[in-house]
Amino acid sequence: MTGNGQVSRIYDEVVKRNAGEPLFHQAVAEVFESLSVVLERYPHYADAGLIERLCEPERQIIFRVPWQDDEGNVIVNRGFRVQYNSVLGPYKGGLRFHPSVNLGMVKFLGFEQIFKNSLSGLPIGGGKGGSDFDPKGRSNSEIMRFCQSFMTELHRHLGEYTDVPAGDIGVGGREIGYLFGQYKRMTNSYESGVLTGKGLTWGGSQVRREATGYGATYFVASMLEAKGTDLAGKKVVISGSGNVAIYAIEKVHQLGGTAIACSDSSGYIVDEQGVDLELLKEIKEIKRGRISEYAEQRSTAHFVEGGSIWDVPCDVALPCATQNELSGDDAATLIKNGVLAVAEGANMPTTPEALKAFREAGVAFAPGKAANAGGVATSALEMQQNASRDSWHFEYTDERLAAIMRDVHERCSETAREYGKPGDYVLGANIAGFVKVADAMFALGVI
Ligand SMILES: NC(=O)C1=CN([C@@H]2O[C@H](COP(=O)(O)OP(=O)(O)OC[C@H]3O[C@@H](n4cnc5c(N)ncnc54)[C@H](O)[C@@H]3O)[C@@H](O)[C@H]2O)C=CC1
Ligand SMILES: O=C(O)CCC(=O)C(=O)O
């Protein structure tokens, strides 16, 4: 059977075995699209059920999370942790708290995480978790009680050599604090390396908060350099206004570009003078308010309710909000407006139709598993510091992050060249991420 025939047979089986999980199917299809050329060249990668094993999580944990709201009502949420693949190191990946979370979503994110973590060059396996809990509008006490109940069950599945969660949508420093507090209480041990994204005074790493946004911007800088240009004077549109988006904006400004628009689920703001980060942080990080408040307080900005942020003409587009937020029509608009580069700060924000359009138009496009690897890479740096009871300076940690992102860029570019598709970061990321995991799976036998 040809490489192509093998992957389409396995893909059909994956869809059958995982019915009703379209995001997971989409993530698998995107990786599989790149694998047939590897299997043609190295047929042994299809031996020993390797691809089938890669698609099946090592363990999937689903649990009840009961908690009491401020009025005393008992609410029951569902918790998930998918421990996907641990051949390169302990399961590593974030926790997402959002009402849309379900098993298929967590599996898509966990699957992506395997290749991302492999590409980072650090010794971490892939996993992801979360809950259908909606933090929006909840008080601090409610968030704390939810996190405590979530960790009361999850703690037995974690450990610094087993599984190390971090944040994702809806889970930031505050939630990691409550989760770590409950883990410490349940285990009676100060096991710093069991969670990353911790506060700086209790085992956290400098730059982890900034790392995903900074990393995505470092990656874009390398993409532009490969095209003989840089970020100076470029207009950048960044969707979202959460952790990834805020620190992408910060780094874009530091590297001489101007971030002119950002969004939340209610709409987007445009500020041609450049997004005022202090104001944005105050609204989003401190008050946890809506993006429309930005335009109310800044005369150079206007708010567009609903609509698509990708209508705003730009040189560089950084989707940093959520999956499938950039459609085929959005891609056509960006291409018409002359976009040079697109890099995914979020996980799988680009639909397959949009991805196809960018590739056909020759727009430089970086998939999330490469462009947003800076977050998890810096989590691995946090684990290194925890293991050695050390804590590094901001500048040193930022240099390490920048070097890791240059290496990820080089790994993707080099692999794409090797397979005769120079500049195809999707192919490069998928193959480079896959080969390292596959080699380790062979070495460890059928497990
Ligand atoms: N936090 C991290 O270190 C990493 C996050 N990611 C990915 O980056 C993305 C964003 O995550 P975070 O910034 O951490 O989450 P966050 O919870 O801090 O922010 C998410 C942002 O996206 C916005 N958003 C959600 N749905 C939206 C929609 N339909 N339209 C417009 N905006 C929408 C929210 O309003 C919020 O501003 C996710 O895809 C996540 O998986 C990837 C790598 C690491
Ligand atoms: O830092 C981590 O472990 C998780 C980051 C994450 O969830 C991601 O890369 O999507």
What is the architecture of the domain spanning 211-371?
A: 3-Layer(aba) Sandwich (3.40)
pLDDT tens-digit profile of 397-414?
Answer: 999 999 999 999 999 999
| pLDDT score, position 84 | 98
Check pocket membership of 376 for ligand 2, CB cut-off 6 A.
yes
| pLDDT score, position 2 | 62
Check pocket membership of 192 for ligand 2, CB cut-off 6 A.
no
Check pocket membership of 135 for ligand 2, CB cut-off 6 A.
no
pLDDT tens-digit profile of 200-230?
Answer: 999 999 999 999 999 999 999 999 999 999 9
ipTM surpassing 0.90, yes or no? yes
Q: Is the pTM of this model over 0.80?
A: yes
- Of all ligands present, the nearest one to the C-alpha of 215 is 1
Average pLDDT along the chain: 97
| pLDDT score, position 275 | 98
Provide the 3-class DSSP secondary structure of residue 67. strand
- Of all ligands present, the nearest one to the C-alpha of 294 is 1
Q: How many helices (H) and strands (E) does the chain have?
A: 16, 12
The pLDDT averaged over each successive group of 10 residues in the chain (447 residues) is 80 98 98 95 92 97 98 98 98 98 98 98 98 97 98 98 98 98 98 98 98 98 98 98 98 98 97 98 96 97 97 98 98 98 98 98 98 98 98 98 98 98 98 98 95
| Closest to 31 in 3D by CA, of 115, 122, 118 | 115
| pLDDT score, position 324 | 98
Which of 212, 303, 323 gets mutated to test ligand 1 (max ligand atoms within 8 A of its CB)? Answer: 212
For 276-281, the CB contacts below 8 A with 24+ separation are: 277/246, 277/249, 277/250, 277/253, 280/241, 280/246, 280/249, 281/246
| pLDDT score, position 375 | 98
- Of all ligands present, the nearest one to the C-alpha of 320 is 1
Structure tokens at 206: 């400098």
User: What's the fold here for domain 56-190?
Assistant: Rossmann fold (3.40.50)
| pLDDT score, position 1 | 55
Question: In the Cβ-directed half-sphere of 324, how many Cα atoms lie within 13 Å?
Answer: 10
Q: Whose CA is nearest to atom 15 of ligand 1?
A: 169
Which value, to the nearest 10 degrees, does the dihedral of the CA atoms of residues 44, 45, 47, 49 take? 180
| pLDDT score, position 6 | 85
Q: Whose CA is nearest to atom 9 of ligand 2?
A: 376
Q: Is 92 considered catalytic here?
A: no
Check pocket membership of 375 for ligand 2, CB cut-off 6 A.
yes
Structure tokens at 118: 């492999």
Check pocket membership of 93 for ligand 2, CB cut-off 6 A.
yes
- CA–centroid distance, residue 96 to ligand 1 (Å): 9
Structure tokens at 386: 């925890």
Q: Are 132 and 101 in contact (CB under 8 A)?
A: yes
Q: Domain residue spans in the chain?
A: 56-190, 211-371
211-371 shares the fold of 56-190: yes
Q: Whose CA is nearest to atom 35 of ligand 1?
A: 264
Choice among 107, 116, 128, 369 that is catalytic = 128
Detail the DSSP E strand segments found in 57-108: 59-68, 74-85, 91-97
